């Protein structure tokens, strides 16, 4: 057992990131990693070293995720259900029964992997991946996100390199039909400063300052908030929506800074009770996207209390 732990434990965090990309949920990803290590422990004595331990674990983890996908429906963001709303004053429409994509705390991931693969963790990509069949999804993640060779991917997937190339081609074509919104360059910590953007955003929300939020948002910014299917694209609708339906009065909201998916984020509280996690996508010209996950349980998952 000591040999098993010494050989495998170093890969736990990167396997969690892999399972998260596959499943779109931090809860499901943790379950898949637990299942991976259980299966690996049971099979460890029979492991013959024909591949690296890392590849062997990825194979088990990928199979665990594909098995999980057969039992669950696809996860979405609001933008995956319908087009943007054009009336910021109209009541928002709930889609409470939908299985939503979840954010993942940076604290659960390997810091080096976050720096190297930040684009591969962004919420928009995680949501887009959910449209791919399990095998295509795994191949795309291993080849295009993690940069594995076709031969290594074939070993993990128990198939040929020709089949890997074919699945990757189909996955790329499918994603090209509805490309994830990833072409906006993310702000780097040394340019406009991610922490500074988050601090200004927190101040604007806590002071219910719609004008300050308008200055922070890009002209083409979008706002999505689960569990609502209603979402908005463009500052002209985002700002009135925030001002009239979200912000309330100064002091209603309290936001605590955190990090999710390699991006600045905040744990949100409304009048002292946990609301959920808000993830920002800052760019050199302003905040391009705010994705709010209205799930109080996520606040505790990120290490914050249920109430303030």
85-113 pLDDT, tens digit per residue, is 999 999 999 998 999 999 999 999 988 77
pTM over 0.85: yes
Mean pLDDT value of segment 230-243: 97
Same domain, 123 and 222: no
- Kindly report the number of other CB atoms within 10 A of residue 48's CB atom: 6
Residue 128: which CATH number?
1.20.140.160
Same domain, 64 and 160: yes
Answer whether residue 25 is part of any domain.
Answer: yes
Count of domains in the chain? 2
Answer whether residue 93 is part of any domain.
Answer: yes
pLDDT exceeds cutoff 70 at 1: no
Answer whether residue 15 is part of any domain.
Answer: yes
* The pLDDT of residue 136: 97
The SS3 assignment for 99 reads coil
Answer whether residue 20 is part of any domain.
Answer: yes
Same domain, 209 and 238: yes
Same domain, 33 and 129: yes
Same domain, 98 and 225: no
Same domain, 130 and 218: no
Same domain, 19 and 152: yes
pLDDT exceeds cutoff 70 at 122: yes
* The pLDDT of residue 291: 98
Same domain, 201 and 162: no
Q: Is the peptide bond before 100 cis (omega within 30 degrees of 0)?
A: no
pLDDT in tens, 182-216: 545 444 444 446 678 999 999 999 999 999 999 99
Same domain, 118 and 259: no
Q: Which domain holds residue 64?
A: 2-177
Kindly indicate the confidence band of residue 116, based on its pLDDT and cuts at 50, 70 and 90: low
Mean pLDDT value of segment 221-235: 97
* The pLDDT of residue 185: 46
Kindly indicate the confidence band of residue 161, based on its pLDDT and cuts at 50, 70 and 90: very high
pLDDT exceeds cutoff 80 at 142: yes
Residue 290: which CATH number?
3.10.450.50
Which of 145, 177, 209 is where one domain is finished?
177
Answer whether residue 308 is part of any domain.
Answer: no
Same domain, 295 and 212: yes
E strands in the chain: 217-226, 231-233, 253-260, 263-270, 273-283, 286-293
* The pLDDT of residue 112: 77
Same domain, 41 and 116: yes
Same domain, 132 and 267: no
DSSP string, 40-93: HHHHGGG---SS-HHHHHHHHHHHHHHHHHTTSPPPB-GGGTSPPPS-TTSPP-
Q: Are 283 and 215 in contact (CB under 8 A)?
A: no
* The pLDDT of residue 182: 58
Of residues 34 and 116, more confidence is placed in: 34
Nearest CA to 60 among 72, 77, 76, 43? 43
The average confidence (pLDDT) of the chain is: 92
């Amino acid at each position: 057992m000591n040999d098993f732990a010494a050989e495998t434990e170093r890969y736990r965090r990167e396997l969690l990131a892999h399972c998260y990309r596959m499943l779109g949920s931090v809860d499901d990803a943790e379950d898949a990693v637990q299942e991976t290590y259980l299966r690996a422990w049971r099979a460890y004595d029979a492991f013959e070293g024909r591949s690296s331990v890392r590849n062997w674990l990825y194979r088990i983890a990928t199979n665990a995720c594909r098995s999980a996908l057969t039992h669950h429906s696809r996860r979405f963001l609001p933008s995956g259900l319908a087009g943007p709303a054009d009336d910021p004053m109209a009541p928002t429409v709930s889609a409470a029964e939908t299985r939503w994509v979840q954010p993942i705390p940076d604290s659960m991931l390997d810091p080096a992997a976050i720096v190297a693969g930040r684009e591969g963790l962004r919420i928009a990509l995680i949501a887009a991946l959910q449209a791919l069949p399990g095998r295509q999804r795994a191949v795309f993640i291993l080849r295009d996100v993690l940069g594995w060779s076709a031969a290594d991917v074939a070993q993990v997937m128990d198939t040929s390199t020709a089949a890997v190339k074919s699945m990757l081609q189909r996955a790329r074509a499918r994603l090209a039909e509805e490309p994830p919104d990833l072409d906006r360059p993310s702000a780097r910590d040394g340019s406009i400063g991610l922490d500074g953007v988050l601090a200004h955003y927190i101040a604007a929300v806590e002071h219910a300052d719609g004008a300050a939020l308008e200055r922070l948002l890009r002209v083409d910014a979008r706002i999505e908030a689960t569990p609502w299917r209603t979402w908005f694209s463009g500052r002209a609708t985002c700002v009135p929506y925030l001002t009239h339906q979200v912000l309330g009065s100064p002091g209603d909201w309290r936001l605590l800074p955190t990090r999710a998916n390699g991006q600045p984020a905040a744990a949100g509280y409304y009048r002292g009770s946990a609301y959920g996690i808000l993830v920002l996508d800052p760019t050199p010209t302003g905040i391009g996207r705010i994705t709010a996950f209205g799930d109080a349980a996520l606040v505790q998952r990120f290490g914050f209390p249920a109430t303030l």
